[in-house]
């Protein structure tokens, strides 16, 4: 068992596809810790994350501490018809009778797929620094994301930077928890 990363971060950096792949195990460990998922989750997520790297508009950021350990990570890409998340959200919006939201939100958007900060590093602005860096120059006219419903630090961060409700209390296939789909226009203001 490895020690938890120290909470301090020294820098937020862009991660190239090669750098992201080289840190995949570390990023997945961070994801599992931040989300409270069982350790076996990484075996299912690794192939998916590897495939995401190949999508148009893919970009990633990481927060590194003085020991060069990853204490925060985020990535996303251009959302498109045929992608699992896109189709899930589209179906949810149509089931809610909101075809206009499909047209308004789901035509030219950056899907913020993952954004995680190690629990020991939360509460000091690192999530917002990662979010702003990831979305700086992101393709698309808007950004969409999903996050579990509830009063979490992530929820408060997204509200603070102007995300609004797109779809609430949605249950993605394979996960019984309710999620909110949130969106906002790009670019983010400073």
| Bridge partner residues of 64 (DSSP) | 11, 70
Is residue 37 among the annotated active site residues?
A: no
- Look up residue 130 and give its two tokens: 């990662």
Q: Checking DSSP bridges between strand 142-148 and strand 109-117, what pairing results, if any?
A: parallel
For residue 106, how far is the Cα from the chain centroid?
A: 17
Of these residues, 31, 75, 77, 158, which one is catalytic?
Answer: 158
Residue ranges in 106-170 assigned as alpha helix (H): 126-135, 153-160
Instruction: Find where tokens 């190949």 sit.
Output: 54
As annotated, the active-site residues are 158
């Amino acid at each position: 068992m490895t020690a938890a990363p120290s909470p301090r971060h020294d820098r937020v950096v862009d991660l190239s596809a090669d750098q992201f792949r080289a840190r995949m195990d570390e990023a997945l460990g961070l994801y599992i810790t931040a989300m409270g998922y069982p350790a076996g989750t990484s075996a299912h997520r690794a192939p998916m994350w590897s495939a995401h790297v190949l999508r148009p508009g893919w970009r990633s950021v990481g927060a590194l501490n003085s020991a060069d350990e990853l204490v925060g990570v985020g990535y996303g890409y251009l959302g498109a018809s045929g992608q699992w998340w896109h189709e899930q959200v589209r179906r949810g919006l149509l089931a809610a009778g909101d075809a206009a939201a499909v047209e308004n939100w789901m035509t030219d958007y950056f899907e913020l797929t993952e954004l995680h900060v190690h629990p020991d590093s939360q509460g000091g602005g690192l999530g917002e620094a990662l979010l702003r860096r990831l979305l700086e120059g992101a393709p698309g006219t808007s950004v969409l994301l999903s996050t579990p419903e509830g009063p979490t630090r992530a929820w408060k961060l997204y509200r603070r930077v102007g995300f609004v409700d797109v779809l609430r209390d949605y249950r993605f296939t394979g996960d019984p928890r309710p999620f909110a789909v949130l969106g906002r226009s790009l670019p983010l203001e400073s």
